[in-house]
Structure 1
Amino acid sequence: MGSFVRDILTTLSYEPEPAEALRFESEELSRLDQRLAGVAQGGGRGRTAISIRPSDCSVWDGNPRDVPGLSAESCRSLIESIAQEDGNRIPVLVRHNAPGADCPYELLVGSRRRFCVELLNNNGRPEIRLNAMIVDLTDEEAFRLADIENREREDITELDRARSYQSAVDRFYGGVQSRMAEALNLSNSQLSRLLSLAQMPDEVVDAFATREELRVRHSEVLTPLLRRAEQRERVLVAARAIGQEQQRFATAGEKMISAATVLSRLKHAAGEGASSHGSETVLMVGDARVGRVRSVKDGLSVELTLSLDADLDQALAIVREAVLDSRARLAREIDAAAD
């Protein structure tokens, strides 16, 4: 079985096929799953699937999938399929655990299938077993195999993938990014961008409505702002405040702050969203000037000019932050004058 899986590693591309090309009996499957399905159905050649309980295998910690994030809702179609067929048609891949381990096997590929069978076992279908194949792979080979599968899954977030890469570069590749990039068929720049995402502080992660919304493109903007100590602190303070707002909105069942608005507010906190010139603050959306906030006799004047396709939430978030900053600056000036 080890040679079969190594053959998969050398012949499978890392680039995903169009979704319509992955249809197999009304399910979207990765090409890895298609190969495993063929083996399971073909039988012979010494490749016999075994049947185990989900509790017989622990999940390998090198897999990038966020296993606690799996839910009955996100796995609904797979649960229904396994229930109808009295088991998973496509086997999971396991290897023998080390002597003395709590479970005899370690799950390398198939976290969703294991989750679904376990859920069914706990909800009136205790007879269903987890169909598995035993393989003999090194940790590095197991990581590459899991990575091939997970790149083709929509429910693997960029953040989960990035954090698994951050752990893997030291664990499997001696801290040498170029070695890892070559093994995974990535460019060095692609890997560097993913590793930058993995290093986003928890405060920044929590500022986004969900982990799925934080993407590589956001970290490319935020990473330079987090390098300077003064800017970093301002960004983290703003991120904590946004995170608290997100929690309140989530608790109240209200619409949460969009990723574009979060990014805009963090940029502004670092001094990138608006620039101050004396008593005037210039409002910027990206590289475009959209207005200004300036001091007038009775308070503050806001001027705003937006294109028809401008992001209104983003623009209003920038205006709000600029007004709050202008108020604070005026208050400091009044205090200084009184002294």
Structure 2
Amino acid sequence: MGNFVRDILTTLSYEPEPREVLHAEGEALSRLDQRLAGMVQGAGRSRTAISIRPADCSVWDGNPRDVPGLSVESCRSLIESIAQEDGNRIPVLVRHNPPEAEQPYQLLVGSRRRFAVDWLNHNGRPEIRLNAMIVDLSDEEAFRLADIENRERQDITELDRARSYQAAVDRFYNGVQSRMAEALNLSNSQLSRLLALAQMPDEVVEAFATREELRVRHSEVLTPLLRRPEQRERLIFAARAIGQDQQRRAATGERMIPAAAVLTRLKQAAQEGTPARNSETPLVLEEERVGRLRPVRDGLTLDLTVGRDTDLDRLLALVRSAVLEARARFAADDPRD
């Protein structure tokens, strides 16, 4: 079985190719899925696959998928399909765990299928088992195989993929990026951009409405600013304020700040600098300047341009956030404190 999977590693392209959209188990088939399904159908399941319980396998920590992030909602169509077919038609890939491990197997590929079968086992279908193939692969080969599958999955965020690459550089390639790029069929620049995304500070990540919204193209803009100490400090200061605003919006059900607006505000904070006590703060809503906040002797003064179609709730939330940020900044600068 190891030879078959190694053949997949050498013959499957990493980049998506034009092809018909095939569906099975409630989702589009990746090319890895097609190869695995074809093998099972051609050779006979009894000779190529085993049936195990989801609890029989631990999840390998080298897979970039955020397993705790899987949910019934995100796997709904897969759960329904597996229930109808009395099992997963496309097998998961596992390898033997060391003898001292609690579970006999380690899951390499198929986190969603394992989740779906486990959910069904606990919700009225205890008889369904997880169809699996046992393979003999090194950690580096297992990482490449999981990467092939996950590049075609829309529910793997660029951030999760980037962070898995960051961990893999040292773990599998002795810290040599060029070796990793060659193994994954990536250019050095592609890999460098992904690794830069992985290094985004937590404050920046939390400034975006969801992890999915933070993309490589955003880190390409922010990375040069984060490399300069003064700009980094200002950018992270602004990111904290935006993140707090996002949390408040999420708690109250308001519309979240879109990624484009977050990027604009972070750029402006880094490039324009933290406003001094005698300078103004521009107010930007969806990449358009709608006003300014200026310090005066006894406090702050506000100038606004309210258009006919301006979302008043969002405008007021922006003003509130800017005022709180200005108050905090002035308090930190006050020599009497």
- Does the CA-based 8 Å contact 2:194-2:216 persist in structure 1? yes
How far the C-alpha of 1:331 sits from its partner, in A, is 11
Superposed counterparts of 1:80-95, under 5 Å: 80-95=80-95
SS, match of residue 99 in structure 1? coil
- 1:251 equivalent in structure 2: 251
User: TM-score scaled by structure 2?
Assistant: 0.84
Give the letter aligned to residue 11 of structure 2: T
Deviation, structure 1 residue 250 = 1.1
1:4 aligns with 2:40: no
Residue 205 of structure 1: aligned partner: 205
The residue that corresponds to 1:149 in the other structure is 149
Aligned ranges 1:41-80 → 2 under 5 Å: 41-43=41-43, 47-80=47-80
**Structure 1, residues 57-85: CA drift from partner, whole Å, max 9, x if none?**
00000000000111111111100000001
Q: In the alignment, which residue of structure 1 is the partner of 2:188?
A: 188
| Partner residue, 2:109 | 109
Greater shift in the superposed pair: 25-34 or 57-66: 25-34
Match of 1:33 in 2: 33
The TM-score, its normalising length taken from structure 1, stands at: 0.83
Is the contact between residue 82 and residue 117 of structure 1 (CA under 8 Å) also seen in structure 2? yes
Name the count of aligned residue pairs.
Answer: 331
> Following the alignment from structure 1 to structure 2, what is the Cα–Cα distance between the partners of residues 66 and 25?
20
> Could you tell me how far apart the structure 2 residues matched to 1:321 and 1:245 are?
7
5 Å-filtered alignment, 1:318-329, equals none
Identity of aligned residues (%): 76
Cross-structure match for 1:14: 14
Please, which runs of 5 or more residues in structure 2 have no aligned partner? 308-312
Could you say if the C-alpha distance between residues 137 and 331 of structure 1 is closer, same or farther in structure 2, counting changes exceeding 3 Å?
closer
Amino acid at match of 1:264: T
CA distance 1:178–1:316, shift in 2 (3 Å): farther
Structure 1 range deviating more: 202-211 or 148-157: 202-211
The alpha carbon displacement at 1:300 in A equals 6.3
Amino acid at match of 2:116: C
Structure 1, residues 21-74: CA drift from partner, whole Å, max 9, x if none? 344587411000000001111125995200000000000000000001111111
Q: Distance in 1 between matches of 2:238 and 2:167?
A: 28
How many angstroms does 1:242 deviate by? 1.4
Gap regions ≥5 residues in structure 1: 307-312
Contact 1:64 1:160 in 2 (8 A): yes
Write the deviation string for residues 74-100 of structure 1: whole angstroms up to 9, x where unpaired: 111100000001100000000000110
Counterpart for residue 228 of structure 1: 228
170-179 vs 23-32, which moves further: 23-32
Amino acid at match of 1:271: Q
Residues 247-297 of structure 1: per-residue CA shift (max 9 Å, x gap)? 111112221111111111211221359999x967789999x9979859799
CA deviation profile, 1:111-156 (whole Å, cap 9, x unmatched): 0000000000011111000000000001000000000000000000
Cross-structure match for 1:260: 260
User: What is the Cα-based RMSD across aligned positions, in Å?
Assistant: 3.8
Stretches (4+) displaced over 4 A = 44-47, 272-276, 278-286, 288-304, 313-332
Give the Cα–Cα distance (whole angstroms) in 1 for the partners of residues 314 and 213 of structure 2.
15
One-letter amino acid of the counterpart of residue 89, structure 2: R
Q: Which residue of 1 aligns with 2:164?
A: 164
Residue of structure 2 in register with 1:310 after alignment: none
1 CA distance for matches of 2:244 and 2:88? 42
